[in-house]
Amino acid sequence: MLVGVKALKEIPRKVTSANLQSLAIALSAIVLLTIPLGAGPYPITVMVDMGFYTIITMGIILLMGFAGQISLGHAAFFGCGAYASGVLTTQYHLSPWLALFLAAIFTGGIATIIGRFMFRLRGLILAGVTLALNLVFFHLVSSLVGLTGGAMGMMNIPPLSLGGFTSQNLLFNYYLVWIIAILLLVFSLNLANSRAGRALRSMNVHAGGSEDAAQVLGIDIMKYKVWAFVLSAVYASIAGSIYAHYTRIIEPGTFFVPLSALVVIMAILGGMASPWGAFLGAGLIIGLRELLRESMPVLVGGVTGSYELIAYGIILVVALLFLPQGLISIVHKAVPKKRAIVNES
Amino acid sequence: MNFSVALQILISGLNLGCIYAALGLGFFVVYSVTRVFNLAQGEFVMLGGMLTASFYTMGIPLIPSILLAVIITALAGAGLYRFIMYPARKSSGVTKVFLTVGFALAIEGIALRVWGWEFRSLPAFFNSPSIQLWEATIFGQTPWVIGVTLLMVIGLFFFFGRTIQGKALRACADEPLGARMMGISIERMALFSFILAAGLGAVVGALITPLTMTSYSVGWPLTIKGVLAAFVGGITRAEGVILGGLVFGMIEAITAGLIPGGYHNAIAPGILILVLLFRRHGLLVTAGRE
Amino acid sequence: MSRKIIIVLMVAICLIGGLVSCKKPEPVASYKIGTAVAQSGKYAGLGLQSLDGMQLIVDEINKTGGINGIPLELVVYDDKSEATEAALGAKKLIEVDKVHALVEGTVTALGMSVVTVANEAKVPTLILSGTALLDDQLGDWVFRPMGSEVDYILHNLNYLSQDLGISKYASLLENSGYGQGGKVFLPQLSPSYNMTIVVEQYFDPGASDLTPQLTNIKNSEAQAIFIWGSSPTASMAVKQAREMGILLPIIATPPQVSPGMVEAFGQYYEMAPSLVALTCKIDIWQQLPEDDPDKAMYREFNQLFTERYDHPPAMWNVLGAQLIMFIEDGLKRAGADPANLEEARGKLRDAFETTKELDLLAAVYTMSPEDHYGGVRNKMVLVTFKDGEMVYLP
Amino acid sequence: MKVNFVRMKSAVMPKQERERDTLHTPLLKVRNVSMAFGVLAVLKRVSFSVPRGNILVMIGPNGAGKTTLLKLISGLLPLQEGEIWFKQQRLSRIAPHRISSLGITQLFQDIQLFSNMSVIENVMVGCHLRAKTGFMRSGLRLPSARADEQSIFEVAMSKLSLVGLEQKALANPSSLSWGQQKLVGLARALATGAELLLLDEPYSGLLTDEVDKLNKLIFELQRQGITILIVEHLTDILMGIANQVIVLDYGEKIAEGTPAEIQQNKQVIDAYLGGGSLESERG
């Protein structure tokens, strides 16, 4: 008996499977950072887009996969970051980096206020509220012509620049997006295996948690729900700001319900048990889109929009039917099960 | 604001409200039996409208056109359940919601393939003329919208409250285990609920086509409005959905008439959020009934 | 078992998706025009119509031996009515398909999303959107050979004030990029005709009941209504106004008099005082006087189009078609070698900039290095409705 | 960045008051508590108090309102009528997590272990109140966060070894037997450092040797000064460990006293046991 206690004086790395995680992070970082060496500008552009989706989806996984709360309106926070950045740089001529930072704080603040009220509700009704929030955001930015340029969109947003590179440079963007994605991944993984992360997971009723049990253990579930919401909004805002400085043109249509739904789909298909799911989910959907864009003209020729839509819908259904736990569940199965280290010693 | 404006807003709100209520009923039927939020409901409405308009332009009279459209759309609803929702019956609620999204996308693509991008329209049912009421106008189609919505509501009430089939349907959601022990096939009831919702959706599609025209892409906006109407009134009860639709329609009509500058679109969902925050189970449903 | 197969397929999709986008480009033997307009999503109507027009002219050119003996190729992607997809599509056309010129964007938001991409890649690009609001943002490589909504505002206001003697009118504008043109330009241009907008109302594309807005107009001092929008709701507004007994003259924008809308709402359009709209000559080309120089051109286009698609052409078919003609003219004058991509793109841009009085179906184009948009004279006509027909209003 | 926007309400007592809270006053006082779900009255004016260090057993058939009472004490249900006092602090309109931070925690009848975490992580969640590391420090993995994590881990391990399950630290709770899950739940509850432990039917579903083990554990906890309130419908096992017994029937307290007194109580035997003896009640 005592042997076991001795053996577990330190937090076993395997509790958090930290070794594997670090290896995976290092590997994917290397892969992501070397891709540009072998790929042309178009695949890199696609990868930059994927990076934005990955970051937002990671936020969704924090909110849905960890805390178990649904949001159908995260495009609004993506847009909030983008428009805040855009307004601050074009109208108030702030530095884009400062704007990115302020936009994240602004979005976080808004999410805090909304979350404080919203999480008095639970379950599917949150989906309704967040959906309505997305509508409010969309119509507001479409109507505030003086501030946002209205439905036409906002133009001439200055690029981010660092050490002589600006985000007019595709590679700069690529590295910027993916380095931030990896940093946020590390942040999310750290969080997952920490006091705060455990608190979030403990109240996730969709994945074996229990709100009652969490509460009697002293966890302020309201506070943690709001925090998960705010963090996920800030992730989306950061992605939005980079997006705005990258495309330099933003329009309200981008930040509407389809995007909100898309990132949730990515989260489901990637797997919500881990922030890695964001990488897998975004990769799957973006890969699928590119595949359709590439193959449909060969298969049916000419005007292919409707075929792409049909195929996309069908593949989505099939994927959701056969991968209800997401791609990450396959990875989890493939990785050898953690053995109790006590038995080893 | 003078009397004619107020009256017109009232009529307009009633018209919109009935449309949203009718949209919401489809969500209600599926939700109350299967606890699935069916985001393909708008596509059923689209299908109903497009099919009715197609048959009507082929020279088939209105009522048979609608019937045909309802039958075909109901088949689509059955397909959605049998080939997608049934295999996924053990999946999580969120996954199910997005399965319906995938289905909706495919339907939209098929509609674009079959009918092209063109908008289609229908005349007001039986060419009903518009009516002048003091200084306000009631469009020819509006009484039909209100009347048919009423009929659907009464029908659903009767069905769920009085018939054995309807009681069995309700039991599936409230007490799935008990229902199974009573010998009720939950699967068959769920299938039926999707067929019913699709059929209702098709009727709504035929109803609103004379007002708004229809095309392959109208499904999503309708879904979003229907979802909000259903939520605001309380998705678990038909009365809640009706009330939600009416409130939503009324808010839209009032803001459209009174708020300058196009902001009215942001106000209706904003008010809905407030309603939900302070009456968390919807307008009608009392606390404790989650 | 089947589950495993699906999983393998999923992973394969990711990999293949990545790989195929790296495929090698084929050797360039033709002039390539790339276009990523909406084939699905809410703007598919505009996108698909313009594609029909484009494809027709491309095939016509190739039948007659191409341009300077070199065939023309049209590469098509779907922008799904989304700005991000439009930019991505443009990027793919430029980088992977190595096109010489781009035609993009059926609506402003989609069109503008490729401006940065096109300017950075230095590819001559034509955007199809019809608003002049953002013309100062086009940059060195983007052209908007579409004319401006100012044209039809001026025409229409002129008609209202000169022909009808109206000084107070109401505007009913769509909440969309298209409606925004009216929101900005109508108040700007009205004073020069001594006209005032007494009430300004808005509607959502997809709204089903505009009676509150129309009641406000009814109760105002407006003597006419300017309805501005591209969705069917904009056309429905006319119907609802007439049913409400609002018998003021109504001025409409071109989308409202497209064939589908006329078919659906024609009976309300012709209720006195019948609707007046400025539109493309294609809609009434048969009624043009024989001495109209454009009539022959339209007859020919109408015949070509009807032979291929079994229905008469509409405005957006013409717009798509004439942009290809615009490119054809540029390519002819540029005389570039398609194999030398960069040089060909540069020469084509220069050729576009030196377009002089190019008289095509619906507009006369003059471009200059400084002005990529202004020198377009749309040959639009006022039409009205009578006996179920659209009638040319000379 | 310090992440803490917990409202400091009246929930935390001033230090002086806490010191005045002597061993003589009961740790928990329940006074005239009533509760109804709609028209259905579940508790009717129930009053009792639990002195510090006692083991109070509350028995009663299913539906007697025992679980409801526990949930009222831990704050999971809002108090409708009556008063609950804990260490001279009135528990009304206080969120469950604040009540937990005052020193009350609960083991549910169905345990509610977090199946998305390993056993040790479950117990570490129980240590939530022992640290303050918020989102930012956790996410950035600052040294202070790591130190916190280490200390949390040590506490969790010690609680786990107290219940004798340190061998299972990395297992998933769903792979454990029901009895082991109960023990993990207990370890998790102990990890909060609560002074009052509410155990909802801890013996249900246990095997005989597990019952003995749990009994020993409960005595050990009492020795450590923890006050325990057990709710149970099995009765005989508990008579050995209880200091004090309360009998609930249809929401009403029908008897209170020492185990011996209760076993002799006529009213209990008549009303609750229907004339049978307590010994025969064993399920």
Give one DSSP letter per residue of A71-131, joined into a string. Answer: -S-HHHHHHHHHHHHHHHHHTS---HHHHHHHHHHHHHHHHHHHHHHHTTS-THHHHHHHH
Nearest to B233 by CA among B10, B16, B28: B28
**If you average pLDDT over every residue of chain A, what do you get?**
86
CA pair distance B143, B15, nearest whole angstrom: 8
Residue D74 has pLDDT above 70, yes or no: yes
Per the CB < 8 A criterion, the answer to whether B76 and B84 are in contact is no
Residue C3 has pLDDT above 60, yes or no: no
Using CA atoms, how far residue A127 sits from A64, A124, B276, in Å, is 11, 5, 11
What is the value of pTM for the model shown?
0.90
- Predicted pLDDT of residue A12: 58
Hey, which residues 203-262 in chain C have their CB within 8 Å of chain B? Answer: 203-204, 206-213, 215-216, 218-219, 232-233, 236, 240, 243-245, 260-261
C160, C241: one domain: yes
Tens of pLDDT along A161-214?
888 888 778 889 999 999 999 999 999 999 988 899 999 999 998 888 899 999
A307, two tokens = 């075929």
Distance from CA of B113 to the nearest CA of A (A): 6
B251, two tokens = 């808010």
Q: Are strands D40-50 and D28-37 parallel, antiparallel or unpaired?
A: antiparallel
Distance from CA of C234 to the nearest CA of B (A): 10
3-state secondary structure of D30: strand
Cβ-defined contact of B108 to C202 (cutoff 8 Å): no
Sequence-distant (6+) residues with CB within 8 A of C59 are: none
Sequence-distant (6+) residues with CB within 8 A of C251 are: C156, C159, C160, C224, C225, C226, C227, C275, C276, C277
Sequence-distant (6+) residues with CB within 8 A of D212 are: none
* Residue C290 DSSP one-character state: T
C269, C136: one domain: no
- Interface size A-B, in CB pairs within 8 Å, comes to 137
Q: For residue C9, tell me if it sits in a domain.
A: no
User: Which residue among C41, C215, C264 places its CB closest to the CB of B4?
Assistant: C215
Q: For residue C230, tell me if it sits in a domain.
A: yes
Per the CB < 8 A criterion, the answer to whether C376 and C145 are in contact is yes
Contact present, D and C (at least 3 Cβ pairs less than 8 Å): no
B112 interface with A at CB cutoff 8 Å: yes
Using CA atoms, how far residue B13 sits from A256, B152, B221, D151, in Å, is 26, 19, 18, 62
Q: For residue C119, tell me if it sits in a domain.
A: yes
User: Which residue among B84, B95, B113 places its CB closest to the CB of A310?
Assistant: B113
Tens of pLDDT along D148-194?
888 999 999 999 999 998 888 888 999 999 999 999 999 999 999 99
Cβ-defined contact of D153 to A339 (cutoff 8 Å): no
Tens of pLDDT along C344-385?
999 999 999 998 888 888 888 888 888 888 778 888 888 888
What is the Cα gyration radius of chain A? 21
Tens of pLDDT along A200-255?
999 998 888 899 999 999 999 999 999 999 999 999 999 999 999 998 889 898 99
Residue B89 has pLDDT above 70, yes or no: yes
Q: For residue C2, tell me if it sits in a domain.
A: no
Report chain A residues whose CB lies below 8 A from the CB of D96: 212, 215-216
Cβ-defined contact of A340 to D169 (cutoff 8 Å): yes
Per the CB < 8 A criterion, the answer to whether C232 and B119 are in contact is yes
What is the Cα gyration radius of chain C? 22
C194, C126: one domain: no
B65, two tokens = 């056109």
Beta bridge partners of D57: D230, D245
Nearest to B91 by CA among A304, A329, C86, D82: A329
B257, two tokens = 């008439």
Report chain C residues whose CB lies below 8 A from the CB of B10: none
Distance from CA of A264 to the nearest CA of B (A): 8
A306, two tokens = 């409707």
C17, two tokens = 């998706």
User: Which residue among B12, B132, B213 places its CB closest to the CB of C211?
Assistant: B12
B55 interface with A at CB cutoff 8 Å: no
User: Which residue among D74, D112, D138 places its CB closest to the CB of A195?
Assistant: D138
Per the CB < 8 A criterion, the answer to whether D189 and D197 are in contact is yes
Residue A329 has pLDDT above 50, yes or no: yes
- Predicted pLDDT of residue D279: 44
C139, C156: one domain: no
Q: For residue C188, tell me if it sits in a domain.
A: yes
C108, C240: one domain: no
Per the CB < 8 A criterion, the answer to whether D228 and D221 are in contact is yes
Q: Is the peptide bond before C273 cis (omega within 30 degrees of 0)?
A: yes
Domain that holds residue C325: 31-148+298-379
What integer is the mean pLDDT of B273-285?
72
- Predicted pLDDT of residue A275: 92
Report chain B residues whose CB lies below 8 A from the CB of C219: 2, 4-5
* Residue A253 DSSP one-character state: G
Residue C23 has pLDDT above 60, yes or no: no
C7 burial (CB, 10 Å; 0-12 / 13-18 / 19+) is middle
Q: For residue C192, tell me if it sits in a domain.
A: yes
Backbone φ and ψ for C215, nearest 5 degrees, come out as -65, -40
Residue D116 has pLDDT above 70, yes or no: yes
Q: Which of residues C171 and B273 earns the better pLDDT score?
A: C171
CA pair distance B179, B177, nearest whole angstrom: 5
Residue A6 has pLDDT above 60, yes or no: no
Q: Read out DSSP for A197-245?
A: HHHHHHT-GGGT--HHHHHHTT--HHHHHHHHHHHHHHHHHHHHHHHHH
Considering chain B, what percentage of its residues have pLDDT values greater than 70?
95
CA pair distance B100, B40, nearest whole angstrom: 5
Using CB atoms, list chains with 3+ pairs below 8 Å to chain C: A, B
Sequence-distant (6+) residues with CB within 8 A of A169 are: none
C43, C125: one domain: yes
Please state the ipTM of this predicted complex: 0.88
Backbone φ and ψ for B200, nearest 5 degrees, come out as -60, -45
Sequence-distant (6+) residues with CB within 8 A of A177 are: A48, A51, A52, A55, A242, A246
Tell me which of C111-115, C185-189, D118-122 is least confident: C111-115
B215 interface with C at CB cutoff 8 Å: yes
Residue of chain D minimizing CA distance to A231? D135
D1 interface with A at CB cutoff 8 Å: no
- Predicted pLDDT of residue C361: 86
Tens of pLDDT along D257-279?
888 888 888 777 776 655 444 44
Residue D28 has pLDDT above 70, yes or no: yes
Q: Which residue has the tokens 């925690």?
A: D105
Q: Read out DSSP for C15-72?
A: HHHHHHTTPPPPPP-SEEEEEEE-SSSTTHHHHHHHHHHHHHHHHHHHHTT-BTTB-E
Cβ-defined contact of D120 to A339 (cutoff 8 Å): no
Distance from CA of D239 to the nearest CA of A (A): 27
End-to-end CA distance of chain B: give it in Å, rounded. Answer: 41
C47, C117: one domain: yes
Cβ-defined contact of B277 to A118 (cutoff 8 Å): yes
A308 interface with C at CB cutoff 8 Å: yes
Cβ-defined contact of D133 to A1 (cutoff 8 Å): no
Report chain C residues whose CB lies below 8 A from the CB of A151: 109, 175-177, 179-180
Cβ-defined contact of A153 to C88 (cutoff 8 Å): no
C220, C168: one domain: yes
Backbone φ and ψ for D233, nearest 5 degrees, come out as -110, -15
**How many structural domains comprise chain C?**
2
3-state secondary structure of C196: strand
Domain boundaries, chain A: 39-257
What integer is the mean pLDDT of D203-218?
88
pLDDT range class, residue C128, cuts 50, 70, 90: confident
- Predicted pLDDT of residue B2: 77
Using CA atoms, how far residue B66 sits from B71, B128, B206, C208, D73, in Å, is 9, 17, 7, 20, 60
Neighbours of D206 (CB within 10 A): 20
Distance from CA of A179 to the nearest CA of B (A): 30
What integer is the mean pLDDT of C57-67?
91
Report chain C residues whose CB lies below 8 A from the CB of A305: 38-41, 44, 47-48, 78, 80
C45, C85: one domain: yes
C182, C243: one domain: yes
Cβ-defined contact of C13 to A284 (cutoff 8 Å): yes
Residue of chain C minimizing CA distance to B262? C202
C276, C316: one domain: no
Backbone φ and ψ for D243, nearest 5 degrees, come out as -90, -25
User: Which CATH number belongs to the domain containing residue C130 in this structure?
Assistant: 3.40.50.2300
Distance from CA of A9 to the nearest CA of C (A): 40
Per the CB < 8 A criterion, the answer to whether C30 and C66 are in contact is yes
Query: Which long-range contacts (C-beta less than 8 Å, at least 24 apart) are formed by B220-223?
Result: B220/A257, B220/A258, B220/B42, B220/B104, B220/B108, B221/B42, B221/C206, B222/B23, B222/B41, B222/B42, B222/B45, B222/B46, B223/B39, B223/B40, B223/B41, B223/B42, B223/B43, B223/B104
